[in-house]
Amino acid sequence: MEYRLRYSQYNERSILIEWPAIIDEDILKNILNFKKKVLKIYTKQKVEVIHTYTSILIIYSFTIENVNDKFFELKRLFESQDKDLEVESWVWEIPVYYNDEFGIDLDNFSKAKKLSKDDIINHHTSAIYTVFFIGFLPGFLYLGGLNSKLHFDRKTRPNLDVKKGSVAIGGQQTGIYPQDSPGGWHVIGKTPVELFNASLNPPCKIRPGDKVKFVSIDKATYLDIESQIAKSSFQLKPIPNA
């Protein structure tokens, strides 16, 4: 599919490229392909490329003297023949303990949505989510694909202390808090898995374009995985995305 992109100068060293404002997997693939091309072509210029659901920000290591030349260069790159570069992706199964102890908003969420807790868990674990991008906090996955029955506006008063590993829902999205943080999403469970570790390379193994599936576990399994992680004997292993 062809997309009409909007190019604009973000600041003296950056260019913003925008796709249609739709959360869509085809747009994500197009963005990731273009991002890969930019990084491949501009290795000597040392550019940084940041993407969101529908845009890319290209940050150069120098001041842009002629922005129109850069626009032309990027448009020509986008329209080049090799636009369908293959982006490898993986499926990650994330274990989650859904309960009132760790899912501090599960009870209120159940009452507000008029769904049983089992229904919430079933809806949440039956979907396969797409990682659109990573942000807000290092390792925070923005996931698309939440069942519409679980859509719920963010809290009007954010929680000032959401615990690391909390699995939550906000608006049309679900995600996992990779560290203790304030947050306005509704926490329905918790995973013992660490999504971000600054001492590892890469610090976050899950990448945009990957898939995530949540798997419900009991407390004994949660504590067992937590113990394995403390001993560095647990490793989250993905499977190829067919």
CATH number of the structural domain spanning residue 40: 3.30.1360.40
Q: Residues 98, 63: one domain?
A: no
| pTM score | 0.83
How many domains is the chain built from? 2
**pLDDT tens digit sequence for 183-205:** 999 999 999 999 888 777 777 88
Which residue, 91, 86, 89, 88, is CA-closest to 239?
Answer: 91
Question: What average pLDDT does the chain have?
Answer: 90
pLDDT bin (cut points 50, 70, 90) of residue 1 is low
Residue 85's pLDDT is what?
A: 56
Exposure b/e, 97-135, CB count within 10 A at least 16 = b? bbbeebbbbbeebbeebebebeebbebbeebebbbbbbe
Q: Are residues 37 and 99 in the same domain?
A: no
Considering the domain boundaries, does residue 84 fall inside one? no
54 and 128 within one domain = no
Give dist(CA 41, CA 18) in Å, integer: 20
Specify the amino acid at residue 64. Answer: I
Q: How confident is the model at residue 168 (pLDDT cuts 50, 70, 90)?
A: very high
Give the per-residue pLDDT at 234: 87
* Residue 223 sits in the same domain as residue 159: yes
Same domain, 69 and 138: no
Is 1 among the domain residues? Answer: no
Separation between Cα atoms, residue 225 and residue 139, nearest integer Å: 19
Domain end point (choices 51, 78, 105): 78
Q: Same domain, yes or no, for 216 and 100?
A: yes
* Cβ neighbours, 10 Å, residue 14: 16
Domain that holds residue 33: 6-78
pLDDT value at residue 106: 97
Sheet architecture: strand order including 55-59: 6-11, 14-18, 55-59, 48-51
Domain boundary among 46, 78, 110: 78
Mean pLDDT within 213-232: 94
Residue 83 has pLDDT above 60, yes or no: no
